[in-house]
Amino acid sequence: MSEEAAGGRRQRTDKQRNRTHILEVAEQFFAEQGISGSMDAIAKRAGVGSGTLYRHFPNREALLAALLQARDDELEARRVAIQEMTDSRAALAQWLQALDEWVTAFDGLPEPLRAALTEGTSPLAFTCHGFIATTDEFLRAAQRDGTAKPWVRGRDLFLSVLATAWARGAALADESSPDGLSALVRSGWEAAERETAPQGEVNPLQP
């Protein structure tokens, strides 16, 4: 290997090492401070300059997207396992629980995820839309079986997960709020028996 090639390889290795270190520090920092913590404070704790941090992650959303990647992989593994369930109602409930755990990885995470759905340019947007599509798959299976209300949409269920995650962190929330909010959301989509859409509502299973 030439000296020039060896030098380039070292640079790539150092760059990857720096990136990994920044992610490890940011993971701990956001876990302690929430996602509103200062990016410059993360760079300082990581022992790198702000310029180095921003070369790897040009904004907070890019840093969050990278941090969530490992959790995306875990969530994908759970999706595969849930798809093996034969009870479509239980499968949808399990998937929404998995999403709830994903969106509460860091304090304050629901807000940038919500914003990503409207901005479109956020690096978090692709991830969110992918999980909405998965939610639709589980929802439609339950709707076909008559165990989910036919006018419910996967996008709304995803937003409800974000909303309840945010509400659990509100000042008025107490220790019973998580279970109460989850039950409230479930009562909104779950059908006790086969239902038809109310007059004027669109049934997503109809062409």
Residue pLDDT, tens place only, 111-142? 888 888 887 678 888 888 889 999 999 999 99
Residues 129, 171: one domain?
A: yes
Residues 21, 105: one domain?
A: no
pLDDT of 204 reads 45
Question: What CATH number does the domain containing 30 carry?
Answer: 1.10.10.60
Residue 45, pLDDT > 80, answer yes
Closest CA to 39 of 17, 20, 21, 61: 61
pLDDT of 167 reads 83
Residues 49, 28: one domain?
A: yes
Residues 195, 151: one domain?
A: yes
Q: Which residue has the higher pLDDT, 36 or 194?
A: 36
Q: Which domain holds residue 37?
A: 1-58
Residue 70, pLDDT > 80, answer no
Residues 128, 43: one domain?
A: no
Averaged pLDDT, 138-150: 95
What is the crossing angle of helices 154-168 and 123-144, to 10°?
110
pLDDT of 8 reads 53
Domain ends where: 13, 32, 58? Answer: 58
- How many domains does the chain fold into? 2
What stretch of H or E contains 134?
A: helix 123-144
| pTM, to two decimals | 0.77
Residues 6+ apart with CB under 8 A from 44: none
Domain ends where: 11, 27, 58? Answer: 58
Residues 94, 28: one domain?
A: no
CA angle 94, 145, 194 (to 5 degrees): 110
Q: What's the rounded Cα separation, in Å, for the pair 101 and 98?
A: 5
pLDDT of 26 reads 94
pLDDT of 74 reads 86
Domain ends where: 14, 36, 58? Answer: 58
The band of 152, judged by pLDDT with boundaries at 50, 70 and 90, is very high
Residue 28, pLDDT > 80, answer yes
Length of the chain: 207
